[in-house]
Amino acid sequence: MSNSSGATSGTSNVQQRRRVVGVPKTCWCGASLVALISKSVANPYRRYYRCGYAASLKLIDDNHNFKWVDEALLDEIERLAVRTAVLEQTVSQITTEIMDHQKMVFERMQMNLEKEIFESVEEELLETKSSLKKIMIVVIVGCMIMIGLSKVIA
Ligand SMILES: [Zn+2]
C-alpha cells in the first residue's frame, strides 16, 4: 500500500487523505483514483479525485483518497514555482562558479606572463655587458612599471 505522491509517509490514513501534495494518482489502499464531478449542493459541478474503490462502493466518511481537482492543480503550480526558483538559484550559482574559475585562470595566466617577461628582462640585464644597453633596459622596465601603475590606478 504505497502513496505514489510520496509526500505523506508515516502518517495516518486520515492525514494522507488530507495531505496528498499535487495531483494524487493512487489511494493508500492501492486503487487508482478517478476524476469525478460533484453533485453536492455546496460544490455543484466541482471536479474531484476519488479512490476508485471507494467510489465504486459509494463509501461516505471513509479514509480513502479524496481531493478537489482545482486544489490539486494549485498544489502542482506551487510545486513547479518552487522547483523553478530552485533551478534559477542553481543556474546562477553555477554561472558565478564558472566566472570565478575563468577569472582565476586568467589571473594565473597574467601572473605567469608577467613573471616570464621579468625573468627574460633580468636575464638580458645579466647578459648585457655594455652600460648603454643596461640603461636602455632600465628605461624599458621603468616604462613597463609606469604602464603597470597606470593600469592599477585606472
Ligand atoms: Zn482507497
**Helix, strand or coil, per DSSP, at residue 28:** coil
Tell me the pLDDT tens digit for each residue of 77-121: 999 999 999 999 999 999 999 999 999 999 999 999 999 999 998
Arithmetic mean of pLDDT, 49-59: 94
* Å from CA of 65 to ligand 1 middle: 6
CB proximity list for 137: less than 8 A, separation 6 or greater: 121, 124, 125, 128
| Residue 1 pLDDT > 60 | no
pLDDT score at 19: 57
Q: Is residue 45 part of a domain?
A: yes
Rg of the chain taking only CA atoms, in angstroms: 36
Query: Which residue range is the domain that position 33 belongs to?
Result: 13-73
Q: Is residue 43 part of a domain?
A: yes
Q: Is residue 48 part of a domain?
A: yes
Q: Is residue 17 part of a domain?
A: yes
Q: Is residue 108 part of a domain?
A: no
How many CB atoms sit inside 10 A of residue 21's CB? 15
* Å from CA of 62 to ligand 1 middle: 9
pLDDT class of 20 with cuts at 50, 70, 90? low
The C-alpha atoms of residue 28 and residue 22 are separated, in whole angstroms, by 15
Q: Is residue 104 part of a domain?
A: no
What are the residue ranges of helices labelled H in the chain? Answer: 13-19, 52-56, 69-127, 131-153
Most confident region among 20-29, 54-63, 136-145 by mean pLDDT: 54-63
Q: Is residue 112 part of a domain?
A: no
Percent with pLDDT over 70 in the chain: 84
Task: Please count the structural domains in the chain.
Answer: 1
pLDDT class of 129 with cuts at 50, 70, 90? low
* Å from CA of 2 to ligand 1 middle: 11
Half-sphere exposure for 154 (CA within 13 Å, toward CB): 6
Q: Is residue 24 part of a domain?
A: yes
